[in-house]
Structure 1
Amino acid sequence: MASSPPRLFTFLLLDRFTMLPFAAAIDALRLANKMSGRTIYHWRLLGAGGDVAVCSNGARLALDAGLGADMPIGRDGVVIVCGGDAITTQATAPVLSWLRRQARGGATLGALCTGSHVLAKAGLLDGRRATIHWENQDAFAEIFSDVTLQRQVFVDDGNRLTAGGGTSSIDLMLHLIGQTQDADLVSQIADQMLHTAIRTGRDHQRLSVATRIGIRHPRLAAVVTRIEANLETPLSPAQLAQDAGMSTRQLERLFMRYLNRSPKRFYIEARLTRARHLLLHTELAVIEIAVACGFSSSSHFSKCYRERYGVSPYRERGVQKSGARAEWGVLALAS
């Protein structure tokens, strides 16, 4: 092990990348070197253009090089795409071409947070298992049907690695380090990072339904879980109640007592939440989004959306596009 050459990690920092998953990933590598007393890993920072990458919180990081630099990755190298806000504008032709070239060269390709969108756009996740931040999962599933979306913290599919963002990159890096190093080193790194519960590729990103909505009623939590799994083809309150082994009236009382809304109101809010994610994170037409969220027509969808958010879906998308152009000077989502 001591004679093995250091493994090279190349972090591709897209514009407006999120700081937390990137910083957590690179610090896990730093600690691996420190705690082992030897250089196990090297890393470098690349960007699509310029000498500086700007993350979503406004911080600026100096880059080692741009995509045009002659910096070979090698078959043992790992490329990690770090995504963040406005990810659909970051999948530019130069970025996609560069990633495909690294794949042909045999490098392992990975992504943190929304970076999975760019790998999928390049066709590098077709027929593969992958994950992305939970907020982007519905949009990702609609756009990239050839990718098997999984909702775990991270996914290791051989030479394709994806992590959902946030602290999930710690778990991914500990997983990779543990493939070639002993378990004691992995534990030391986790202790240094105060990461007291190392998660595996089987752990889910989000808290349980009961924790998220603040209830401890198991039958109600089961109904909410069923609602979230059936947004495209909504189930009636009567069907939900029957499946839960109670009357419709009992179900309505549970929702009003614990959630202060009817099952029907809760259901439509869940569908509109998903619709908003699709609206802001995909290029799907409004009618396609309406159908994907269980609305029979774009007019009905628009009416419900306006009642919920105070703006029509068309206006919502237009405002987002105008804001993106003004702040970043890039093309935003096409309607």
Structure 2
Amino acid sequence: MPIWINQRDGIQEIAVLLFNRFSNYCLANTVEPMRAANDALGRTAYRWRLLSLDGGPVTSSSGMQLMPDGKLSDMPGGDALFILPSYAYRTYGTPTCLDALRAAARRFETLAGLDAGSWLLAEAGLLIGYSATIHFDEFERFSERFPDVTAVRERWIVDRDRMSAGGATTAFELMQHLIASTHGAAISIEIAGLFMQGDDSERANAMQTPPGDRRVQRALTVMRRHLETPLTVAALARAAGCRQRDLEVRFRRAFGATPRTVYKQLRMAEALRLVRDGELSVSEIALRCGYADPSAFTRAFRVTHGAPPRDHRP
């Protein structure tokens, strides 16, 4: 069930709470997918602020000093608060910090522990009755220290209004999942492609899918190669090496959508890119995205992107 549902004016309001020795890598993997989603959508869908407990500067594990946008207690609230302590996290569980997190839980719709952030959420009593994960090095200590939390060895977990990811790479995967849950798989796949070089197969592999689900990845690769001449779902299933029903189940598990829906999202994402390039006519773009009828293409484009192609021209 998607948790990104409390949008204000269509914008997700996100805060990231940083502590000294935070991971630059984990922070970038949290913020950059939102920046890329804004670029891909052509509007501000995500807005974020970087915070510290006292509003003062914090220094990353690599020695980079960062001046936050403000103090946690001054932030009125938002859709999600990401907690990113990284190294020395166990020393941060002071009464002042834990009280601040408990107060924040009343202002933010969702709380997320990144890297070792789950430890602080658990210390504050904010994960009781929830499933959560943490960096694999700390998993045993975490599960023993907090018996009221269901510790699960997963890369990332979304459990109602709590989220957790065990490291920097998994933070990126979690952000992909959340963006896809709101804006569709095509945007998430496009974002994955921005952050890695390689062929279509590698780009498809970058998209978070159920572990070992190569059939979904194969189907995505085939879709991207056949935007101009769309294949049937049956043909996609054959190319992926499974039955049509099986492929539909796998896509619903991976993206919460059917293969047909994801395929259309990919075609409309490519259409938006071509429209913004401004080099091709609408008729030519329609053909490249699998529409023989420009009028049908324009209608589909308007439904997907909220306005006709001419409104997205540079």
What TM-score, normalized to structure 1? 0.57
**Maintained 8 Å contact 2:29/2:171:** yes
- Identical aligned residues as a percent: 37
Q: Matched residues in 2 for 1:60 and 1:150: separation? A: 34
Shift of 1:203: 4.4
Q: Does 1:139 align with 2:174?
A: no
Q: 1:16 aligns with which of 12, 21, 24?
A: 21
SS in 1 for 2:153: coil
Q: Give aligned pairs, total.
A: 200
Q: 1:198 aligns with which of 189, 198, 207?
A: 207
Deviation string, structure 1 residues 225-276 (Cα, Å, up to 9, x no partner): xxxxxxxxxxxxxxxxxxxxxxxxxxxxxxxxxxxxxxxxxxxxxxxxxxxx
Q: Matched residues in 2 for 1:10 and 1:50: separation? A: 13
Shift of 1:148: 0.6
SS in 1 for 2:189: helix
Which one-letter code corresponds to 2:41 in the other structure?
S
**Maintained 8 Å contact 1:152/1:203:** no
Structure 1 pair 57–106 and aligned structure 2 pair: CA distance change class (3 A)? closer
Shift of 1:134: 0.2
Q: Does 1:28 align with 2:37?
A: no
Q: 2:116 aligns with which of 111, 114, 117?
A: 114
Q: Does 1:173 align with 2:175?
A: yes
- Taking the TM superposition and a 5 Å limit, the aligned residue runs for 1:32-51 are 32-51=37-56
Q: Matched residues in 2 for 1:49 and 1:32: separation? A: 30
Which one-letter code corresponds to 1:171 in the other structure?
E
**Maintained 8 Å contact 1:15/1:90:** no
Which one-letter code corresponds to 2:50 in the other structure?
L
Shift of 1:105: 3.3
Q: Matched residues in 2 for 1:203 and 1:19: separation? A: 26
Q: 1:125 aligns with which of 124, 127, 152?
A: 127
**Maintained 8 Å contact 2:55/2:69:** no
Structure 1 pair 163–59 and aligned structure 2 pair: CA distance change class (3 A)? same
Q: Matched residues in 1 for 2:182 and 2:94: separation? A: 34
Deviation string, structure 1 residues 119-161 (Cα, Å, up to 9, x no partner): 0000111110000000010110110111111111100001101
Which one-letter code corresponds to 1:6 in the other structure?
I
**Maintained 8 Å contact 2:81/2:108:** no
Larger radius of gyration: 1
Please report the RMSD computed on the Cα atoms of aligned residues, expressed in angstroms.
Answer: 2.1
- Taking the TM superposition and a 5 Å limit, the aligned residue runs for 1:286-301 are none
Alignment-derived partner of residue 235 in structure 2: none
**Maintained 8 Å contact 2:76/2:107:** no
SS in 1 for 2:51: strand
Q: Matched residues in 1 for 2:65 and 2:128: separation? A: 33
Listed as ranges, the gaps of 5+ residues in structure 1 are 205-335
Q: Matched residues in 2 for 1:12 and 1:203: separation? A: 30
Alignment-derived partner of residue 297 in structure 2: none
Deviation string, structure 1 residues 166-213 (Cα, Å, up to 9, x no partner): 21111100111111102111111110011643335x649xxxxxxxxx
Alignment-derived partner of residue 187 in structure 2: 185
Shift of 1:104: 2.4
Structure 1 pair 32–91 and aligned structure 2 pair: CA distance change class (3 A)? same
Shift of 1:30: 0.4
Q: 1:163 aligns with which of 140, 162, 165?
A: 165
SS in 1 for 2:168: coil
Structure 1 pair 105–50 and aligned structure 2 pair: CA distance change class (3 A)? closer
